[in-house]
């Protein structure tokens, strides 16, 4: 995984690449590097850590050249240090790479036996050595690629720069995304079109297995060992604007506060605000014939899927399963004819989710993408797209994209339920109106976050924290625990409240914080019993509930956060906000980097 960029321009390449890399930093920030070629000289600058560290190196030691490649890394092979930072160089060849060369060990052994000396522990370096071996042996760069590509296995994308070749870049894509940008007497490569947006909107998306030879005058695309193919150019609609943090301390804080808008925009993209009518996206258009829905996702998007299952079953009356993409893709699930798979992904680039989408298709399912990024790979490969309208999300921990996914899913369940005759007009109206009431209630919660400060302080100092919920609140408990652990590094577990007695209850001792997500809905009384079990063992109960819940149970909790009254069906969207706030404020208390927590990346493009 990682972000990669390449530039053949008339202007200095480094500032253009640094801007593009800033747009790609969501893909990893373990190290960064750039290389340029001037005449016969390849030069590079690299630094461990975030892009800002590379910027400092470049200020001390500037890099000239109008042709270059750049990289921001999420470490897979080899620790995140200087020697493993890309670009990797062998002889005349420099490479930046995203993904994994799975047969790197065999190739490394072969190259070493011939005398190659490796500088890093990365899988990437074999590509540089293989190409250099061919070129040193007299092959042209194009011939070298044609020979090397069939030797590589795995899911990857890479860009190559060669000493003495100021008007040439080579690029390849197998599963990992890669976009080529066509400029006026310039050519660019980037992991996505957003990275290239300030440079050009003319994009050629490479397909799986493609490789390309780029010159300022144009691009030629090939497959396999060198068969030329045509790939059409399209005009990208992605915005070049760099979104700032405004007056917020972190993107995550801003994105938490963006939610009233993100939810409202998403809702109105699914349900017509005038008529209350919903339109069903392509693969679900024939609602009555949908045999089953299989939701495929990773991380926070998976928890959106778990929530959606309740809605799709109870409101739409459709059989539904939710699958972790990384597990689904290697199984042989038995899926019915007429089934639809929904690939859920903020970025639209998570490789496991993409592979799961492809797998679902081979199993005879139509595929719908529920994504936040319109031109993403998952959106482009699906049979239909339902867009969340959360706007760009930069915080690694997903917030507004999650509540937008929930909103889209509930809108979809209502539309499907009505089209299938599972709910009547009155029930549809009730649910649509409940959904329309969500943005103002979210705004009310965000108006005063001081209530969360002292609780967050306690969580930031805890060793273990449990999150419990039942029914529709169960996925929110999972999401709350994920948020806390990923940005504060405090161990947190989310559990179905009823399952607590089968294990996690052993963790409860004096003052272990237990966050209980419990609006006063049909599951409330049972959750109350589980809360009593926690209290009886000395756990410190933090109850997230509404006024009625507080009246019923307030005395029995150590802390009660009272949220606005809301229909139970839409409560998960509202109850996401306090768990996000608790995690965010705990991270601020602890001083961890909420936007770029260690070891994580926003979009995970390795398997």
Max Cα distance, the chain (Å): 81
Q: What are phi and psi of 575, to 5 degrees?
A: -75, -10
Is the Cα dihedral 14, 188, 157, 214 positive or negative?
A: negative
Contacts with 472 (C-beta within 8 Å, 6 or more apart), sequence order: 307, 310, 521, 523, 568, 569, 571, 572
Q: Which residue, 394 or 418, has its beta carbon nearer to ligand G6P?
A: 394
Q: Which residue, 146 or 263, has its beta carbon nearer to ligand G6P?
A: 263
Least CB distance to ligand G6P at residue 155 (A): 15
Q: Which residue, 360 or 432, has its beta carbon nearer to ligand G6P?
A: 360
For residues 338 to 357, the per-residue mask of contacts with ligand G6P, x marking binding by CB under 6 A and - elsewhere, is -------xxx--x--x----
Which regions of 283-407 does DSSP assign to beta strands (E)? 293-297, 320-324, 340-345, 366-371, 384-387
Which is catalytic among the residues 2, 366, 400, 485? 2
For residues 351 to 390, the per-residue mask of contacts with ligand G6P, x marking binding by CB under 6 A and - elsewhere, is --x-------------------------------------
Which is catalytic among the residues 254, 400, 483, 602? 602
Q: Which residue stretch of 5-13, 168-176, 246-254, 396-404 sits at the interface with ligand G6P (rule: CB under 6 A)?
A: 396-404
Q: Could you tell me whether strands 187-190 and 2-8 are parallel, antiparallel, or unpaired per DSSP bridges?
A: antiparallel
Least CB distance to ligand G6P at residue 94 (A): 29
Q: Which residue, 556 or 600, has its beta carbon nearer to ligand G6P?
A: 600
Should residue 396 be labelled a site residue for ligand G6P when binding is judged by CB under 6 A?
yes
Least CB distance to ligand G6P at residue 267 (A): 19
Q: Contacting ligand G6P (CB under 6 A), which of 604, 605, 606, 607? A: 604
Residue 84: asked if its preceding bond is cis (omega within 30°), the reply is no
Q: Which residue, 100 or 221, has its beta carbon nearer to ligand G6P?
A: 100
Least CB distance to ligand G6P at residue 160 (A): 28
Strand partners, 221: 212, 229
Reading the block at residue 276, the tokens are 């209350």
Q: Which residue stretch of 458-466, 522-530, 541-549, 596-604 sits at the interface with ligand G6P (rule: CB under 6 A)?
A: 596-604
Task: Give the nearest residue (CB) to ligand G6P.
Answer: 299
Are 106 and 152 in contact, with CB atoms under 8 Å apart?
Answer: no
Least CB distance to ligand G6P at residue 302 (A): 8
Q: Which residue stretch of 201-209, 265-273, 539-547, 597-605 sits at the interface with ligand G6P (rule: CB under 6 A)?
A: 597-605
Q: Which residue, 71 or 602, has its beta carbon nearer to ligand G6P?
A: 602
Least CB distance to ligand G6P at residue 195 (A): 16
Q: What is the chain's length?
A: 607
Indicate the helix (H) or strand (E) that contains 562.
Answer: strand 559-562
Q: What is the DSSP string of 19-72?
A: HHHHHHGGG--SEEEEEEEETTEEEEEEEESSHHHHHHHHHHS----SEEEEEE
Residues between 35 and 64 with contacts to ligand G6P, criterion CB under 6 A: none
Q: How many residues at the interface with ligand G6P, by CB under 6 A?
A: 16
Residues between 290 and 309 with contacts to ligand G6P, criterion CB under 6 A: 298-301
Q: Contacting ligand G6P (CB under 6 A), which of 34, 37, 146, 397? A: 397
181-185 — which CB contacts under 8 Å span 24+ positions?
182/218, 182/219, 182/233, 183/9, 185/10, 185/216, 185/217
Q: Which residue, 96 or 397, has its beta carbon nearer to ligand G6P?
A: 397
Reading the block at residue 499, the tokens are 């399952």
Contacts with 422 (C-beta within 8 Å, 6 or more apart), sequence order: 315, 316, 317, 416
Are 179 and 189 in contact, with CB atoms under 8 Å apart?
Answer: yes
Q: What is the DSSP string of 352-383?
A: HHHHHHHHHHHTT-EEEEEES-TTSHHHHHSS
Least CB distance to ligand G6P at residue 544 (A): 21
Q: Contacting ligand G6P (CB under 6 A), which of 172, 307, 602, 606? A: 602
Least CB distance to ligand G6P at residue 602 (A): 5
Should residue 86 be labelled a site residue for ligand G6P when binding is judged by CB under 6 A?
no
Q: Which residue stretch of 48-56, 116-124, 357-365, 395-403 sits at the interface with ligand G6P (rule: CB under 6 A)?
A: 395-403
Q: Which residue stretch of 266-274, 463-471, 531-539, 599-607 sits at the interface with ligand G6P (rule: CB under 6 A)?
A: 599-607
2 catalytic residue (yes or no) = yes
Q: Which residue, 200 or 301, has its beta carbon nearer to ligand G6P?
A: 301
Least CB distance to ligand G6P at residue 594 (A): 12
Are 227 and 221 in contact, with CB atoms under 8 Å apart?
Answer: no
Residue of 234, 182, 176 whose CA lies nearest to 374: 234
Q: Which residue, 107 or 587, has its beta carbon nearer to ligand G6P?
A: 587
Q: In what order do the strands lie in the sheet with 234-235?
A: 41-48, 31-38, 67-73, 2-8, 187-190, 179-182, 202-205, 234-235
Residue of 510, 516, 505, 533 whose CA lies nearest to 467: 516
Q: Which residue, 301 or 527, has its beta carbon nearer to ligand G6P?
A: 301
Should residue 600 be labelled a site residue for ligand G6P when binding is judged by CB under 6 A?
yes
Residue of 344, 403, 577 whose CA lies nearest to 480: 577
HSE, side-chain direction, 13 A CA sphere, residue 163: 14
For residues 493 to 532, the per-residue mask of contacts with ligand G6P, x marking binding by CB under 6 A and - elsewhere, is ----------------------------------------
Q: How far is CA 573 from the centre of its chain?
A: 19
Place of tokens 């045999």: 291
Least CB distance to ligand G6P at residue 382 (A): 13
Task: Report, as residue numbers or ranges, the catalytic residues.
Answer: 2, 602
Binding site for ligand G6P (CB under 6 A): 298-301, 345-347, 350, 353, 396-398, 600, 602-604
């Amino acid at each position: 995984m990682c972000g990669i960029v390449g530039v053949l321009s008339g202007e200095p390449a480094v500032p253009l690449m640094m801007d593009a890399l800033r747009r790609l930093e969501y893909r990893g920030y373990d190290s960064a590097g750039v290389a340029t070629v001037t005449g016969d000289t390849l030069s590079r600058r690299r630094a461990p850590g975030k892009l800002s560290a590379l910027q400092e190196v470049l200020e001390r030691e500037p890099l000239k050249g109008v042709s270059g490649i750049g990289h921001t890394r999420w470490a897979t092979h080899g620790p995140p240090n200087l020697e493993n930072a890309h670009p990797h160089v062998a002889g005349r060849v420099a490479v930046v790479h995203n993904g994994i060369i799975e047969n790197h060990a065999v190739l490394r052994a072969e190259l070493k036996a011939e005398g190659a000396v490796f500088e890093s522990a990365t899988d990437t370096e074999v590509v540089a050595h293989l190409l250099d071996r061919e070129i040193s042996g007299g092959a042209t760069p194009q011939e070298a690629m044609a020979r090397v590509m069939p030797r590589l296995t795995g899911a990857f994308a890479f860009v190559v720069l060669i000493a003495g070749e100021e008007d040439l870049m080579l690029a390849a894509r197998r599963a990992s995304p890669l976009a080529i940008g066509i400029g006026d007497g310039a050519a660019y490569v980037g992991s996505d079109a957003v990275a290239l947006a300030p440079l050009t909107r003319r994009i050629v998306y490479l397909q799986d297995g493609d490789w390309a030879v780029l010159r300022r005058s144009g691009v030629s695309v090939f497959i396999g060992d060198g068969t030329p193919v045509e790939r059409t150019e399209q005009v990208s609609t992605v915005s070049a604007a760099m979104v700032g943090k405004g007056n917020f301390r972190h993107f995550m804080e801003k994105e938490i506060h963006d939610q009233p808008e993100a939810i409202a925009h998403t809702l109105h993209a699914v349900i017509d605000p005038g008529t209350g009518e919903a339109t069903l996206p392509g693969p679900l258009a024939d609602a009555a014939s949908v045999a089953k829905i299989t939701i495929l996702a990773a991380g926070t998007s998976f928890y959106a899927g778990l929530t959606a299952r309740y809605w799709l079953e109870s409101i739409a009356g459709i059989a539904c399963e939710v699958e972790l993409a990384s597990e689904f893709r290697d199984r042989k699930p038995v899926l019915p004819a007429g089934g639809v798979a929904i690939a859920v992904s903020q970025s639209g680039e998570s490789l496991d989710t993409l592979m799961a989408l492809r797998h679902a298709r081979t199993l005879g399912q139509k595929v719908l993408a529920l994504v936040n990024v319109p031109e993403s790979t998952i959106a482009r490969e699906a049979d239909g797209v339902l867009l969340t309208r959360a706007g760009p999300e930069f915080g690694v921990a997903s917030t507004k994209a999650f509540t937008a996914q929930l909103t889209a899913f509930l809108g979809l369940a209502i539309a499907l339920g009505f089209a299938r005759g599972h709910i009547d007009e009155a029930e549809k109206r009730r649910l649509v109106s409940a959904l329309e009431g969500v943005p103002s209630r979210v705004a009310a919660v965000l108006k005063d976050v001081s209530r969360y400060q002292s609780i967050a302080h306690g969580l930031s100092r805890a060793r273990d924290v449990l999150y419990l919920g039942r029914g529709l609140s169960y996925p929110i408990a999972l999401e709350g625990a994920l948020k806390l652990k990923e940005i504060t590094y405090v161990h947190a577990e989310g559990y179905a409240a009823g399952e607590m007695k089968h294990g996690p209850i052993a963790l409860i001792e004096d003052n272990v914080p237990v966050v209980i997500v419990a609006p006063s809905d049909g599951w409330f009384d049972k959750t109350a019993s589980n809360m009593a079990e926690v209290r009886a063992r000395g756990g410190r109960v933090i109850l997230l509930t509404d006024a009625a819940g507080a009246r019923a149970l307030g005395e029995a909790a150590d802390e009660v956060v009272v949220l606005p009254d809301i229909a139970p069906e839409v409560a998960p969207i509202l109850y996401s906000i306090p768990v996000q706030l608790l995690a965010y404020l705990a991270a601020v208390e602890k001083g961890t980097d909420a936007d770029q927590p260690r070891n994580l990346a926003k979009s995970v493009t390795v398997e």
